[in-house]
A and B are shown apart, each in its own frame.
Chain A
Amino acid sequence: MRVFALLAVISVSLWGASVWAAEPENEKPVVNPPPTAKDWADLAKLPDWSGVWNPKITDQDRQAKTNVPPWNPKAAALVAHQLAEEKAGRPPPLFVNCLPEAMPAWMLVTHNAMEILFTPGRVTLLGESDGNRLRRIYTDGRPHPDDPDPTFHGHSIGHWEGEALLVDTVGVVPQAYIAISEAAGVPNNGDMRIKERIYLASKDVLHVDLEITAPKVLTAPWKTTRIYFRQRARKFDIVEGVCLEGYFKEGTDKDGNAIYVPVKHDVGGNRAPPE
């Protein structure tokens, strides 16, 4: 017993020493300063992007045919196959696993609304229908990390140029699709960079200009603009969206407790029809 206790003490000590060694000595951590009254007041000078923004899906449909990304031959072959499958009634299930649509697919092919929040040093995009659809765009002047941890939405930094927000995004997981529809797209495969210019094209229409560089699948940067409409009616406010909710239906257990009961789904992503 004593031997085990001794081993435990040694293990904990070694772990502590390794953690301690990982912290560079004498290097102060970067601290995000508390916002000042001026920081909050300055937000009022930004353009009004409040409300709910729903995408122009018919324009997504149109661009899938008229603004094709400059795919490399391998990617082009995959997309051609996907489009043929979709036309044949077997749409490839790119986004049926409830992982985030991720960047840039969220901006490119979403069918769901979003809202945009301004706080000092940051712009935040929150999407409807997926609780995990969230972008943080840092506007506090920080650079990208040297080696950002790959994430679904990447590491985004932005700055204002007049009324437009210019955003630069790197560090997106290589699995994230560059999608032209919900049924056609290619994983970016790494080293992708996304530049965006977000601005009001008119009073209640938001444009997102994107330039996507993805050397593993595109032969040149691809440019596209996506369009969103503003809604202000309270009944159109963003609602909670939990993608996995569709897995279940409401039920009751043997003790009368309210529970969720799994629902069968088919491969295409719909609930399985009755037998």
Chain B
Amino acid sequence: MKRYLYLSAFIGVIAAFPASAHHSTTMFDHAKSVTIMGTVKEVHWTNPHVAIYIYGTSGEVKEPTLWLMEMTSPGNLVRAGGWSRTAVKPGDKVTVDFSPLRDGKRGGALKKITIAETGKLYTADIRAQERANLEEQPAK
């Protein structure tokens, strides 16, 4: 019994400072697609979610500003989208398509990122790895 009390107390402490573990993504409006063009400021190649900060403009917002893009885990990005830790680097000029946060804040779920200099693009659909031996038929 005492063990449960300790566990409950521990959960309470953690809940006060939520971390970025496994969650649904309906806080993003997947029916919409927004595009930003800009420069990569930071790449957080971390579990459980990778994030990219981009300084750029979008649609009617002509003044450059900072945007946050959330993605799945490094392992999933490697398998599902052909990413690597250095696929996108700070300083890269990029175009990003993303599903925006429903609350209007400057963040979204990255759908596609294209690097201007090389034309290389990466997607981030976690469900794009649903077959065996992915290397035999690389993602398009």
Please determine whether A246 and B48 come into contact, CB atoms closer than 8 angstroms: yes
Q: How large is the interface on A (under 10, 10 to 19, 20 to 34, 35 or more residues)?
A: 35 or more
Partner of B21, one of A86, A113, A149, A243: A243
Please determine whether B18 and A231 come into contact, CB atoms closer than 8 angstroms: no
Please judge, given known A-B contacts A90-B27, A112-B75, whether A269 and B18 are in contact too, CB under 8 Å: yes
Please determine whether A58 and B18 come into contact, CB atoms closer than 8 angstroms: no
A80 at the interface (CB under 8 A from B): no
> Given the complex of chains A and B, what is the CA–CA distance between A90 and B23 in angstroms?
11
B124-140: which have CB < 8 Å to A?
A: 126-127, 129-135
Among A3-11, A92-100, A155-163, A214-222, the one that faces the other chain is: A92-100
A235 at the interface (CB under 8 A from B): yes
A259 at the interface (CB under 8 A from B): no
Please determine whether B20 and A246 come into contact, CB atoms closer than 8 angstroms: yes
Nearest Cβ on chain B to A261's Cβ, whole angstroms: 11
Partner of B107, one of A96, A235, A247, A273: A273
Please judge, given known A-B contacts A95-B21, A233-B134, A269-B21, whether A243 and B48 are in contact too, CB under 8 Å: yes
Q: How large is the interface on B (under 10, 10 to 19, 20 to 34, 35 or more residues)?
A: 35 or more
Please judge, given known A-B contacts A54-B79, A270-B70, whether A97 and B19 are in contact too, CB under 8 Å: yes
> Given the complex of chains A and B, what is the CA–CA distance between A230 and B132 in angstroms?
5
Please determine whether A246 and B47 come into contact, CB atoms closer than 8 angstroms: yes
A91 at the interface (CB under 8 A from B): yes
Partner of A241, one of B11, B48, B129: B48
> Given the complex of chains A and B, what is the CA–CA distance between A149 and B18 in angstroms?
27
Please determine whether A99 and B11 come into contact, CB atoms closer than 8 angstroms: yes
Please judge, given known A-B contacts A86-B26, A246-B47, whether A239 and B75 are in contact too, CB under 8 Å: yes
> Given the complex of chains A and B, what is the CA–CA distance between A129 and B70 in angstroms?
16
> Given the complex of chains A and B, what is the CA–CA distance between A128 and B48 in angstroms?
9
Q: A residues within 8 A CB of B4?
A: 150, 173-174
A134-159: which have CB < 8 Å to B?
A: 149-150
Partner of B7, one of A88, A173, A181, A268: A173
A-B contact pairs, 9 of them (CB 8 A): A54-B79, A89-B26, A99-B14, A113-B76, A245-B47, A265-B19, A265-B20, A269-B20, A270-B70
Q: Which residues of A contact B (CB under 8 A)?
A: 54, 56-58, 86-99, 101, 110-113, 128-130, 149-150, 173-175, 181-183, 203-205, 229-233, 235-236, 238-249, 263, 265-274
